[in-house]
Structure 1
Amino acid sequence: MPSNQTKGHRLPARVAMLKKAVFTVLLAGLLLFANGLSGQPARAADPADPEKTAESVAALSPRNSEEKLKNIQKLLEESRTEKPENLSRKLNIPVEKFQEKIALLQEIEATYQRQLTALAKQSSLAQEQKNLNAQIESNQGVVVSQLPPYSLTTYDLYLDQLDKMRQREDAASAAQQNDKKNLEHAHVNVSAASQRLRQLLEKVEQEATGDSPEQNMKITIARLENELAEATLDLNRLIAENSKIELQIAQQQKNITRQQVDWVRSRLAFDEQDLQERLKLHDGLRQKLKTYIASLAAEQQEVEDAWLKAQQEYSDTGIADELKKERSKSWLDARQSWRDTYQQILEQTENSLRLITRSEQAWQRRYAMIKGEVNYEEFDQWEKETSESIENINRLITMAQNSQNSLQPQIVSVKMQLALPGVDPVIARNQRTMLEALNKLLERTVEHLSRLQTMARFENRFLAEIQERQQSIKVIDILSKVAGKFLHTLDYEVWVIDEQSVTVKKVIVALLILAVGLLLAKYISHFTTDRILRQTKLNESDRAIFDRILYILMLVLVVLFALHTVNIPLTALTFFGGAFAIGVGFGTQNLLNNFISGFILMLERPVKIGDTIEFESTVGAIEEIGIRCTKIRTPSNVHILVPNSSLLEKNIVNWTLSDQVIRCQVRVGVAYGSEVRQVARLLNQAAAEHGEILKNPEPIVIFTDFGDNALIFDVYYWIRLGDTRMGKFIIESDVRFLIEKHLRENGIGIPFPQRDLHLDTSKPLNLRIIQGSGDPPGQDAAGSDHQGPDAAQQMKSASARGNTP
């Protein structure tokens, strides 16, 4: 039995263990209570559907969010009653877990706070949208406060307001797109947090190790993470809904402002007072800038002198004294910064001064458009000048932006150098001077950039007004402008000959005279030739020659008349003649060759219109001999254009050079054993029976040859070619029909080609099959006998001889 002393030692230990167990139970209950208050059961993330999002947002209310916020704040207070380090030692849980729990509670608290803010904003937006809809329905929001007519200043105010509404709409649209992405990301986070919580609960249930502080802490953190994800999802839904309402409000306000702009624009009127006020304002700004430029120039000279002095001091400083050299270098850099600052500010101010003049001109032109004192040509000129001005301003904006981007790193670099420890006071003072110069230049650059952007917006607005007025210009004005430009173009001087200007108008009139003259010359030459042809006995070839000569003479007269009418001196022909000669020498040899060949064909007349010729195996009748080529029609009714030079340079057969009579030939073969005299008589009879065959000269039958398979006879006869070139072939066909008829009636046959094969059967035939390249090996032809080489050689010899072995 243990002694009392031993019991005394065990009692404090048991009491400590009991206290620890009781504390553990209480802590576990507190954690479970926190789990019950900290959120609802895990739920799957819904897709970012606008309808579901709207329903989820409608389910949220400030009251629910406030209750959740109070519960979280209560848990935070309970968690802060004891330090995490003490709880970590008592429960044997890493202190990071307690810190993580507190961080999650703080994030949830901040999320619920943001929900309340978003709900309040939603209520405010809804009220704003309600009021806006009421104004639209009552037309109060569309009404312009001032009475018409309106000045350009009032119009510009509403245009500026419309630009702001467009910017607000763009910003709301971009925010909505970003909020949609955040909402999708929140759905993914809720799904992931729910999955982690379920997996953790399933794992604890499967292990069945009983409740332990560490497991309870893990479950608590997982529940808090899930609640944070769900609270963030609800917050993003609220934000997305607010962005949607903001976009709708921005669109409604933009539409209202656009209606106001349209109302004011339709009631603009010339306002002399407003114009003079604008011009006076520009003049005052011009005087101010001129004064500023003068002061800048004076200060710049001082800065330039200081820079030259600093440069001289730096050059005179010896290399041995390193500190003095650095001080001198820093002072030179500071003076250089001020020198660059004044140069750039002066350039910017001069550019602003030029823009004032441009702005004055734009205001005067805008009011001129309102008064209707602008014609169509001026609109074109203004559009061109405004477009050039916009390009120039955009270049200046780019330069100012580049300058601003380069200044900011320089300022940061100087500030970092000043922040370094142990900087020499003199060098630090010089660097502060440099920083002052850079800051001043940056400030002036930002101001200059703002002025440039304002001027660019004004010029773009003016350009839009010009283009709008151009679209509303009447058709008569457009036609007047086009006519004016056309007349101005007609007076453009092309060249000068003998102090006589040749304008576009003269050239066009000359070309019109030439065109009409060519048509008249062609008509008159054809008419005159037809009348002469009726009264004389000229043939078609003579008619064509006379027609061409007359046409060329009239063409020369038309050219001379055109030059005289437009008062172009004939000296121009010298110029054109020289150019034509050069062109002939280098590029028109074939054309001139064919042109001259056409006249030779007409004069020498080796071929005439209507002649039937054979040219390069082609037979046809000549229909026309032109200046460049000759037109030939074949019996197939196909026209062939042959260059005139080819008819002179190549061999041609003219079937009808002297007359229209030609000889034709038909060949026929009869069987061996036929009575040849009877055959000749029958062939002669067949030729004589055809009515188109001439009786004089008489047809001739010639026994031509002993053919391989027949006796060959040729029938020659003469015919007269008509207008249809198919007549020759038709007559030849008729003669063959008659020949076949007479021969068949008299029992005379017309053989066809045949071969007789005679075999020597005095000794056995020795046959063998010689395998071809395409036959499979070892396979013989069906039904074939073998024979020796002698028989095969005999068969070959017999085939070569025809019908004898």
Structure 2
Amino acid sequence: MSKVKKIISKLPVGVVVCLVIFLLAATQASICSGQLSLPVLPDASPAEPSVSPTADSPAGLKQQRQEISQRLRVAQRQLDAVKESQEAEADSRGGELTENLTREVGNLKQLEVLLAQQQAAEERREAAEKQKVELEQRLQDLRARGPEDPTPYSFLLLDQLRDELVAETARQGAVQATVDTTAEAVRLAKAALAEKERQRRKAKETFDTNKDEERNPQLSAALAHAELETRLAGEILKTREIELAVEKRAQQSHELQLAYLAEKIEWVGRQTHFRVEDLEHQLVELERQERDLKQSLQAAEKTAQFLDQQWFDARGRLDQAFERPADLLEEVEARRLARLAQQQRIAALGQQLARLEDRREGWNRRFRISQHSVSREDRRLWVEETIQQLEQLDRERRLQTIRVDEVRQDLATLEAKLDSDSQRLDGTTRWLRAQQTTLSQLSMLHERQIASIDASRRLHDKLLAELRDSEPATTWSDRGKQAYEAIVQAWNHELASIDDRPITVRKIVMGVVLLFVGYLLSRVISRLFGNRFLPRVGVNPSAASALQTVLFYSLLILFAVFALKIVNVPLTAFTLLGGAVALGVGFGSQNVVNNFISGLILLAERPIRVGDLIQVDGLFATVETIGARSTRVKTGANLEIIVPNSKFLENNVTNWTLSDTMVRCEVMAGVAYGSPTKQVEELMIRAAKLQEMVLVDPSPFVWFREFGDNSLQFQLNFWVQMTSLTRRMTIESLVRFKIDELFREAGIVIAFPQRDIHLDAVRPLEVRVLAPEAPAPQQGGSQVGKAA
């Protein structure tokens, strides 16, 4: 070979180029004539390749691979020879030739790989076909003779078959997705083949219509390359079609497997009973697993102490180091990861032990269900507990899946770090490898956790299905019991808890009812006490009303405490509400509380009482009732007004009847100037004394108030018992009538408003009578324009 290379290197470039073109033409002729026995290109339209059985068989494909390998070696030698000649003398045509040979070598390599894939795919198709035939035969034997397992069938066998059916059913979507993906690959391969065929036809047309002999070698090489790429695309299509056929066979086998498992489960289920031996066998297996887990947990706890010490030692050496070398940093990280992985392993073993206990209880419940020894209440409770356990298992599985993804990301980052630096020290690489190993073990730990969770979930799924399937038919009596149980459950439903005591719906309803009854009783008792008892013992009405109100609120508080005691609600519950109550008082309830406290003060100090005549903001009214928040008063016009209690403490209030009902009244009278003042005084006193409702003691008297503009002002003062504003005003009106009568008899004039005008002129006034049309004079003193 070396001698050939030396000879070729000594030849001129032109001779070498001609030699290569000749070899290419010979290769093209051999390919076109089928000397290499390459498979014929398939038509793009059919779903499966149309090839001869010999070419399709693994042996035929193996022979084609050998021929392609031989052709690849020849092309590689040609490429090497051209490259060596280019090193001796640079030439542009040599570069183009190198590029063509390189592409040819690449296509031949791809063709060799595709043939290998076809050979493997053909072997898989034969295996899939054999599996399909075996499954069809097993299904026929099952239908004809039944299962081949010995009778009596074990319940554990039935359970295993159900698990297999669930697993195969879960794979159904993945199998269909694989078929769809492979069919899409076939479609794309057909499109690529059509494009390559178009390029080949174009290259062939260019070669056939070429009249320039110098371009013939170049066009011939391009045509050969296009035909090789077309063959390559055809082989890709053939490979994809074989893969599609394999996946379809696998899908058919999967459907047969599902049918076989379903029919076998139905056959075995009719003749299988959950025996005590089956339960004991499963419980013994769970006990063995529990012993193994406990031993593993003890060993893991001992190892954790050793790993903790190693991590602390490495941390100490790192803290003492001055420059913090990279290998020591990675060692600390490796020790930390190992410690973390061991902690998670201990936690995982503990969780698996807990799940084993749940699985043991699940098997016992399944056995009781098969023996029909479960009450309706236990069945309902088991359904709720099983649903809760399934939800908990789902949460744990999601958590483990997240942890697996996190560990895989950390592992990918670590592997990238290992590959990025080839100049790393051996010590650093060692600890990075240790971290990689720990992360791999941690990933496997989480995957084992997922497997344990899946096993528990399958068991609880079966338990839930058996609970629902074995539920007896519901009668009207059962419906009534269910309704009663639902009502009792809702009646005793816990809403909250205080001091470890439940607050249920029943307690709240009973508390509200008792509080309402207490309110009614407080109202009745306080009214009887205030309206009947107190008046009989001589208590005045105002004091009786105050005592009645105080008794009402006292009884209401007592009944509220009694209601809380009856329903077993601790009084400490209200200490928790103290902050909220204080906040409400400080903001939204301050006005209400202010009026309430004012009402208590009014009842205690009694500045106003029921029946008192008061004056607030110029309003005269009689107090009707004094409530906890407001007071009701009635005016002389029979208008009832609600006044907030705080109004009586914040503003000035005149109580006309607080300590005494005797009130001094005043009546004003004005007489004309020149009237006898003493006689006026006597007459006014006499008018007051003639009225029966005017008190004699103190006796009436008169004040000479002032010399007014129009009259002499006198004020009559007298006292009356003022029980109401109407009484007072009535007495004052009668006194005025009498004064007017006495003054008329005595000839005393009650003055009225008047003005006296006095004119003082230097010369006499000039008076003229003018015609209506004449204008008024513009000058002169005071003139009268019109005289009567």
TM-score (norm 1): 0.52
Q: Give me the CA root mean square deviation.
A: 4.3
What residue number does 1:360 align with? 360
Change (3 A) 1:216 1:142: farther
Equivalent positions of 1:321-470 (< 5 A) are 321-323=322-324, 329-330=329-330, 332-414=332-414, 420=421, 434-435=435-436, 437-470=438-471
Shift of 1:276: 1.6
Using the alignment, how far apart are the partners of 2:51 and 2:364 within structure 1?
Answer: 55
What residue number does 2:47 align with? 53
Shift of 1:256: 0.7
What residue number does 1:119 align with? 122
What residue number does 1:300 align with? 304
* Aligned counterpart for 2:75 among listed residues 75, 79, 96: 79
Shift of 1:425: 6.5
Shift of 1:84: 4.6
Equivalent positions of 1:480-495 (< 5 A) are 481-482=481-482, 485=485, 488=488
Change (3 A) 1:468 1:292: same
Equivalent positions of 1:607-618 (< 5 A) are none
Shift of 1:267: 2.9
Percent identity (aligned)? 17
What residue number does 1:128 align with? 131
What residue number does 2:195 align with? 192
In structure 1, runs of 5+ residues without a counterpart are 1-12, 47-51, 504-570, 573-805
- 1:269 aligned counterpart, secondary structure: coil
* Aligned counterpart for 1:206 among listed residues 182, 205, 209: 209
- 2:470 aligned counterpart, secondary structure: helix
Give the conservation status (yes or no) of the 8 Å contact 1:84–1:98: no
Shift of 1:478: 4.8
Using the alignment, how far apart are the partners of 1:245 and 1:498 within structure 2?
Answer: 69
What residue number does 1:246 align with? 250
Shift of 1:308: 4.8
What residue number does 1:179 align with? 182
Shift of 1:258: 1.1
Q: For residue 459 of structure 2, what is the amino acid of its counterpart?
A: F
State whether structure 2 residue 273 is matched by structure 1 residue 269.
yes
Change (3 A) 1:58 1:251: farther
Shift of 1:163: 3.3
Give the conservation status (yes or no) of the 8 Å contact 2:207–2:220: no
Give the conservation status (yes or no) of the 8 Å contact 1:69–1:112: yes
Equivalent positions of 1:18-37 (< 5 A) are 28-37=25-34
Change (3 A) 1:380 1:231: same
Shift of 1:421: 5.8
Shift of 1:330: 4.8
Cα shift readout 1:390-446 (whole Å, capped 9, x = no counterpart): 221222222222222223343455566667466567666665655554444334333
Shift of 1:355: 0.3
Shift of 1:373: 1.0
State whether structure 2 residue 226 is matched by structure 1 residue 222.
yes
Using the alignment, how far apart are the partners of 1:349 and 1:499 within structure 2?
Answer: 49
Give the conservation status (yes or no) of the 8 Å contact 2:152–2:272: yes
Using the alignment, how far apart are the partners of 1:423 and 1:41 within structure 2?
Answer: 54
Give the conservation status (yes or no) of the 8 Å contact 1:376–1:478: no
Give the conservation status (yes or no) of the 8 Å contact 1:142–1:259: no
Using the alignment, how far apart are the partners of 1:357 and 1:391 within structure 2?
Answer: 17
Using the alignment, how far apart are the partners of 1:198 and 1:455 within structure 2?
Answer: 64
Using the alignment, how far apart are the partners of 1:55 and 1:498 within structure 2?
Answer: 81
What residue number does 1:514 align with? none
Change (3 A) 1:123 1:367: same
Of stretches 54-63 and 287-296 in structure 1, the one that deviates more from structure 2 is: 54-63
Q: For residue 296 of structure 1, what is the amino acid of its counterpart?
A: A
Q: For residue 31 of structure 2, what is the amino acid of its counterpart?
A: A
Give the conservation status (yes or no) of the 8 Å contact 1:85–1:95: no
- 1:178 aligned counterpart, secondary structure: helix
Cα shift readout 1:198-217 (whole Å, capped 9, x = no counterpart): 11122223332237222111
Using the alignment, how far apart are the partners of 2:135 and 2:266 within structure 1?
Answer: 19
State whether structure 2 residue 178 is matched by structure 1 residue 153.
no
Give the conservation status (yes or no) of the 8 Å contact 1:44–1:191: no
Give the conservation status (yes or no) of the 8 Å contact 2:206–2:219: no
Give the conservation status (yes or no) of the 8 Å contact 2:142–2:264: no
Using the alignment, how far apart are the partners of 2:333 and 2:19 within structure 1?
Answer: 76
Change (3 A) 1:481 1:265: farther
What residue number does 1:799 align with? none
Shift of 1:329: 4.9
Change (3 A) 1:136 1:436: closer
Cα shift readout 1:138-181 (whole Å, capped 9, x = no counterpart): 43688323345433311222123223433554443222111101
Of stretches 31-40 and 334-343 in structure 1, the one that deviates more from structure 2 is: 31-40
Change (3 A) 1:309 1:227: closer
Aligned residue pair count: 483
Using the alignment, how far apart are the partners of 1:389 and 1:20 within structure 2?
Answer: 79
Change (3 A) 1:437 1:54: closer
